[in-house]
Chains A and B, each alone.
Chain A
Amino acid sequence: MLRELASYALGMAEGFGASYIEARVQRISYESLLMDNGVLKEFSRTSSVGLGVRALYNGGFGFSSTNAMDRESVRDTVSKAVSAARASKQVGRLAERNVQRGTFISVGKKRPEDISEGDKVDLLVNINRAGLSVEGIKSAVTRLGIQRDWRYIITSDGVELEYESSLLGIAHASVALEAGAMEIVGDQKSATAGWEFIEDKNWEEFSMDISKLAKEAVKAPLPPSGKLRIVADPEMVGLILHEAFGHACEGDFVASGSSILSGKLGGTVASPIVTVVDDGLVEGGYFVPFDDEGNLKKRTVVVENGVLRNFLTGREEASRLDLPVSGNSRAQDFRHFPIIRQTNFFMTQGDHDLEEMIREAKEGIYISGRGSKGGEVDPGSGTFTFSAGPSKIIRNGELAELVRGVVISGIILETLRGVEAVGRNLRISTSAFGGCGKGDQLARVGDGGPHVMIKELIVGGG
């Protein structure tokens, strides 16, 4: 029925005078269980069905959406998309498409929907109990998140694409109390997979390790304030790249002139040992086979040996920037129009061992992603910031004491130029509990890289 309604929307293009229509129908569900200090505080399930229509009328794009899935509402939605287009600028030429038809499925082996509610609750009870069993832990929260997303896109220029994915993960946070001071450490592990991802891991060990780190962190001092040499673990590298560089590569920011990388294509923007790619299909990352205007998401080499080679684009940005379509025009769901987003944005491997980096760093800080809350960038001023989890000071080329409350800040273009060493290992991860916010939309993304040493960043401490 949903496919029929999408076709019905498409069939009305001519009647409303639209020169192009793209119709997206979606069925998305999210299940969330939350175990808080041994008590199940939340067992919720959300499901949505809806239609999003983008219409090109008189050269301008308009968007409308509805979740009333009947013909009259669909007709009203197309009419509103056309009406919205009257208020928009002329988009000019759209770049050539890179795909017409395809079906892409990544749902793993065991359907999470087939696992009983009781088994899911038992799993969380055990993880939460293990987290609370560590002495000094005052509070522990464990979450299970399961998303299933089905999208079907058809366009009036012949695209027909279908997609289904399963994303799930477990998150845990422990709060330690010592001598009146409290500290929280949280972490999560997620994958585009089936229930086998949950069965293959020792989650009690996961929550106990978090609790042990929280217990250690509550006693730890704040780091010294000021400039420090940084060795970052793969999770931190992912965050730095995403915030400090990825957003500036988004073609809409570049085309409007708000990115600090506007006009720098072909120029050196990073140390020669840095190569950065955006790839929709990568081990450990989120599953993005195509974007929401119906473009195949290809592996895009953004920086090659320090030189800026590409930006992330949809059809409009590709045309404006004279680049190929990279397939990055993504919408949070059927309620939103597509905007340029990263998919899995990461740095490729280098030749250093972590031990070598710590030794070469001599003095600085080894920042860890476990316990980080994320980051933010102001692309216009070039300033970015992120928080790290409990991290270790590097002294005389060795790891020394643990510090907490680490917040890092830097300037976009200085950061990648300051990369002094890149590690051999590569780790990419995604999350079933959050994503990247841009405008009013949240997108699931993946990020990561190897360990990396950076000459200096600002550390906020005490």
Chain B
Amino acid sequence: MNIEKVVRRAIELGASEAEAMLLKSSETSLKLSDVVEASKHIKIASLGVRVAVGKSTAVVGTRDISEDGIEKAVGSAVSIAKVSPQDPYWVSMNRNIGFTRIGDLFDKDTAEAPPEQLLPLAKELLGSVKEGCSEAKPVDGLITASSAEVVYANAYGGPVEWKETTAVLYVEARVDEAGSVGNYSDFDISRGLGGLKAREIGLNVGSKAKVFVKAGSIGTDRYELILLNDVSNSIVPVMLAPAISAFNVQQGRSPLAEKVGTSIMSEQITIEDLGASANVLGASPFDGEGFPTRNLIVVERGVLNTFLYDTYTANREGKESTGNASRNYDSSPRPSPHHLFIKPGSATLEEMIRETKNGIFVARTIGQWLSNPISGHMNATITHAYMVRNGELTEPVKNGVISGDFYETFKDGLEVIGNDIKQSSGVSTPSLKFRNILIASK
């Protein structure tokens, strides 16, 4: 498909500006329990067309990629824009089309892997769960190898294109002992299948599932709190990503409005958004509107440095985009982080535990996404944790709610930053230790 032709067609139909984004994705995956439950192999092309007629815009996405389907999409976008009210803040689409050289994000073997090629990895993963604990039964899991190719052009330039691969592995195991059940899950993510650590994940999941058979309850109180890197990975983006988006700031929905240049977190914390680092997932040579990406320091020693901008929000403030336009093929771009990275400290997890007198070491939570990034109120429900007493991990516990103001917690409550970075999709953080955190429980 020639997307420049799509852009030209929109202009012909009366658009003053137009852009087109083609996304070609493929995915091979195995769904696991203690066997391979099912497998799939899919290939989909999606086209997004955004047009402006003066200051009125519209977006149409289509997965009907026949000639008729594309013509209909372009026609529909222009006709909607013609009747839409003007957006007074609209200036123009991105005029700086380009890319940043960030290295290879694509692994051919991963992109072309048929389902059978994933089987040895599945065998290793399921086998190592049993090796971790012979009573552990894998009950859920997934191995996925996927690729995405993006082509972008607008009325001012392009096409530019990039492609990437992602490989993911996940397993959950369960141990049943005389009616009491313990479970645990873990995942790994990488650019290619070769980077997945199946054995390490399987061993960890098998052995931990056994430990949590005996999980007891926590008393409602204030505790020293250690969040394992997996947990901080799941909480930090929920609270921070919407708050540092210039769009939410401009629309009156960020608690960080007017806080640039002020201290919002402990001075131990430095957070970067890695838009142009090939070794993290979320990075890409250009953003969702063809603007070159970069690495950006968002919080430096606790001080908020900048918000994240796309062309629309940057134009509104007379600034330049930070290359953070993020979008689905069928939606307008909005500023969003590529990959939030909290700079690691020097403490090992063992040292953090050793320095804890009366605390909880939290390994897994659910529901952190129910937190409120507008009020700044954070919560997460503990499913897997250990009590820490006098520097030692003691009994496993579950079912308590971590609750508090995110910024107060990360400013006055933060004690220690770990050295153990874990990468997830769009975020990498180390384990973190806090003082005096409220846990609601029985």
Chain A contacts to B: CB under 8 angstroms: 36-37, 39-50, 61-69, 80-81, 83-89, 116-118, 121, 125, 138-139, 141, 175, 177, 181-184, 222, 225-227, 252-253, 256-258, 260, 335-337, 373-378, 380-387, 404-405, 407, 409-411, 439, 458-462
Whether A47 contacts B64 by the Cβ 8 Å rule is yes
Q: Please, which residues of chain A bring their CB within 8 A of the CB of B115?
A: 62, 83-84, 86-88
Query: Smallest distance from the beta carbon of A321 to chain B beta carbons, Å?
Result: 14
Whether A385 contacts B139 by the Cβ 8 Å rule is no
Query: Smallest distance from the beta carbon of B391 to chain A beta carbons, Å?
Result: 26
29 A-B pairs whose Cβ atoms sit less than 8 Å apart in the complex: A40-B84, A43-B84, A44-B60, A50-B44, A63-B40, A67-B45, A67-B64, A69-B66, A86-B116, A87-B119, A88-B36, A88-B37, A88-B39, A226-B220, A256-B34, A257-B137, A257-B176, A258-B33, A258-B174, A258-B183, A380-B174, A383-B366, A385-B366, A386-B367, A405-B375, A405-B403, A409-B367, A462-B404, A462-B438
Bound-complex Cα distance A85 to B330 (A): 32
Known: A378-B183, A461-B440. Is A405-B66 also a contact (CB below 8 A)?
no
Whether B366 contacts A378 by the Cβ 8 Å rule is yes
With both beta carbons as reference points, the residue of chain B lying nearest to A374 in the complex is identified as B370
Whether A48 contacts B63 by the Cβ 8 Å rule is yes
Bound-complex Cα distance A411 to B383 (A): 10
Bound-complex Cα distance A252 to B119 (A): 21
Consensus secondary structure, chain A interface: strand
Q: Please, which residues of chain B bring their CB within 8 A of the CB of A382?
A: 181
Whether A182 contacts B255 by the Cβ 8 Å rule is yes
Contact of B270 with A by CB under 8 A: no
Whether A181 contacts B375 by the Cβ 8 Å rule is yes
Q: Please, which residues of chain A bring their CB within 8 A of the CB of B89?
A: 39
Q: Please, which residues of chain A bring their CB within 8 A of the CB of B403?
A: 222, 225, 405, 407, 460-462
Whether B367 contacts A258 by the Cβ 8 Å rule is no
Which of A46, A83, A257, A258 is close to B60, meaning CB atoms less than 8 Å apart?
Answer: A46
Bound-complex Cα distance A439 to B251 (A): 33
Whether B374 contacts A405 by the Cβ 8 Å rule is no
Contact of B59 with A by CB under 8 A: yes
Query: Smallest distance from the beta carbon of B119 to chain A beta carbons, Å?
Result: 6
Q: Please, which residues of chain A bring their CB within 8 A of the CB of B91?
A: none
Q: Please, which residues of chain B bring their CB within 8 A of the CB of A405?
A: 372, 375, 377, 379, 403
Give 1 or 0 for each of B54-95: 1 = CB within 8 Å of chain A CB: 001111111111100100010011011101110111000000
Give 1 or 0 for each of B100-139: 1 = CB within 8 Å of chain A CB: 0000000000000011101100000000000000000101
Whether A47 contacts B62 by the Cβ 8 Å rule is yes
With both beta carbons as reference points, the residue of chain A lying nearest to B218 in the complex is identified as A458
Q: Please, which residues of chain A bring their CB within 8 A of the CB of B57?
A: 43
Whether B370 contacts A386 by the Cβ 8 Å rule is yes
Whether A48 contacts B64 by the Cβ 8 Å rule is yes
Which of A44, A63, A460 is close to B330, meaning CB atoms less than 8 Å apart?
Answer: A44
Query: Smallest distance from the beta carbon of B336 to chain A beta carbons, Å?
Result: 15
Whether B442 contacts A227 by the Cβ 8 Å rule is yes
Which of A68, A226, A380 is close to B139, meaning CB atoms less than 8 Å apart?
Answer: A380
Q: Please, which residues of chain A bring their CB within 8 A of the CB of B35?
A: 89
Whether A87 contacts B36 by the Cβ 8 Å rule is yes
Bound-complex Cα distance A83 to B115 (A): 7
A36-B251, A46-B62, A385-B381 known; 9 new pairs, CB 8 Å cut-off, are: A44-B59, A45-B59, A47-B62, A49-B63, A116-B83, A256-B33, A381-B183, A381-B215, A381-B383
Whether A409 contacts B400 by the Cβ 8 Å rule is yes
Contact of B38 with A by CB under 8 A: yes
Bound-complex Cα distance A69 to B43 (A): 12
Contact of B8 with A by CB under 8 A: no
Query: Smallest distance from the beta carbon of B36 to chain A beta carbons, Å?
Result: 5
Contact of B399 with A by CB under 8 A: yes
Known: A44-B330, A380-B181. Is A175-B252 also a contact (CB below 8 A)?
yes
Contact of B384 with A by CB under 8 A: yes
Whether B41 contacts A80 by the Cβ 8 Å rule is yes
Give 1 or 0 for each of B158-188: 1 = CB within 8 Å of chain A CB: 0000000000000010101000011101000
Q: Please, which residues of chain B bring their CB within 8 A of the CB of A37?
A: 251-252
Query: Smallest distance from the beta carbon of A132 to chain B beta carbons, Å?
Result: 11
Q: Please, which residues of chain A bring their CB within 8 A of the CB of B56?
A: 40
With both beta carbons as reference points, the residue of chain A lying nearest to B215 in the complex is identified as A381
Q: Please, which residues of chain B bring their CB within 8 A of the CB of A41?
A: 87, 332
Contact of B401 with A by CB under 8 A: yes
Query: Smallest distance from the beta carbon of B124 to chain A beta carbons, Å?
Result: 15
Q: Please, which residues of chain A bring their CB within 8 A of the CB of B28?
A: 84
Which of B331, B398, B438 is close to A383, meaning CB atoms less than 8 Å apart?
Answer: B398
With both beta carbons as reference points, the residue of chain B lying nearest to A124 in the complex is identified as B85
Bound-complex Cα distance A65 to B140 (A): 23
Which of B45, B252, B255, B383 is close to A139, meaning CB atoms less than 8 Å apart?
Answer: B252
